Amino acid sequence: MGDFKGRLIALYQYRGFVVSMVGREFRSRYLGSLLGSVWSILNPLAMIFIYTVIFSRVMRAKLPGIDDPMAYGLFVCAGLLPWIFFTELLSRFPNIFIEQAALLKKVSFPRITLPVIALCSATINFIIIFSLLLVFLLITGRFPGWAVLGYLPLLIIQQMFVVGVGVMLGSMNVFFRDIGQFVGVVLQFWFWFTPIVYVITMVPEEAQRLLPFNPMTAFVQAYQGIILQGTWPDFMLFKLHLLGAVVALIGGFFVFHKLADEMVDEL
């Protein structure tokens, strides 16, 4: 307990380092490009346009029971944006310590700052993209109202799970390098096992019985309900998700604590 408290204190003491590294990451994404950070808006704007206009208007994809030409595009965006937030971290965390091996060997700083930097960077990206979606909903008269705040507690639970699992995988990947490759394969299957681009009733009954065992299914359905129908999530359905997130968080930082001192030698 004392070591964990000590790491938190060290993290607070290095908050300036975290902020500067997050800013550096954001700038490095667009450094040298003509439009610079404007791409952080143009890229997600293009994605939202493709799903809401191209899919709905041009391909005329529709949702059963909803008479709105843009319903399918919004259905996809509602679940896809949190999924991108989810996978951006889960795909990055396994290599988080390996990628910064040179920095870890040359500079003395708390290793726990690296996952925090990744989390802050991904959160900023999500806020930008999601804000653009909300602006689009306001302009088109489809804003779901106060129910949109229901995203917040669900995202917190979702990302607690990601951070816990990600820190565990990142710590272990320093010693077992196949983990990072394995996560990439799992995420590809996980995407199609999550009802983001299809309605559950469209898949065979055997698959319908299996989908609830995917923890992301409940999250995605809740996000879609918020955007399409303006309904608040039933938070009681996420009791086990919260418990799993807490267990993952504790387990992840336990593994990190056990392996942190040996990482630099292995790197």
Judge whether residue 195 has pLDDT over 80. yes
For residue 52, give the 3-state DSSP assignment. Answer: helix
Task: Tell me the range of 18-27, 140-149, 156-165 where mean pLDDT is highest.
Answer: 156-165
Question: Is it the case that residue 161 has pLDDT exceeding 90?
Answer: yes
Q: What average pLDDT score do residues 127-138 get?
A: 88
Predicted confidence at residue 159, as pLDDT, reads 93
Task: Determine phi and psi for 177, rounding to 5 degrees.
Answer: -70, -10
Is pLDDT at 95 greater than 70 in this prediction?
Answer: yes
User: How many Å apart are CA 241 and CA 218, to the nearest integer?
Assistant: 9
- Among 2-6, 58-62, 238-242, whose mean pLDDT is lowest? 58-62
When comparing pLDDT for 29 and 99, which is higher?
99
Distances (CA, A) of 19 to 11, 13, 16, 25, 94: 11, 12, 5, 10, 22
Cβ-based neighbour number of residue 131 at 10 Å:
12
Q: How many domains does the chain have?
A: 1
Which bin fits 60, alpha (ψ -120 to 50), beta or left (φ > 0)?
left
Give the pLDDT confidence score for residue 226 in this predicted structure: 94
Containing structural domain, residue 165: 2-266
Using the predicted structure, report yes or no on whether residue 32 has a pLDDT greater than 70: no
Share of the chain above pLDDT 90, in %: 22
Taking the CA of residue 211 as centre, how many other CA atoms within 13 Å lie in the half-sphere pointing to its CB? 22
Q: What are the backbone angles phi and psi of residue 200, rounded to the nearest 5°?
A: -55, -35
The residue behind tokens 């908050």 is: 15
Whole-angstrom distance, CA of residue 230 vs CA of residue 93 = 33
Q: Answer whether residue 184 shows pLDDT above 70.
A: yes
Task: Give the pLDDT of residue 45.
Answer: 64
Q: Would you place residue 49 in the very low, low, confident or very high pLDDT band (cuts 50, 70, 90)?
A: low
pLDDT number for residue 253? 85
Identify the DSSP state of 61. Answer: -
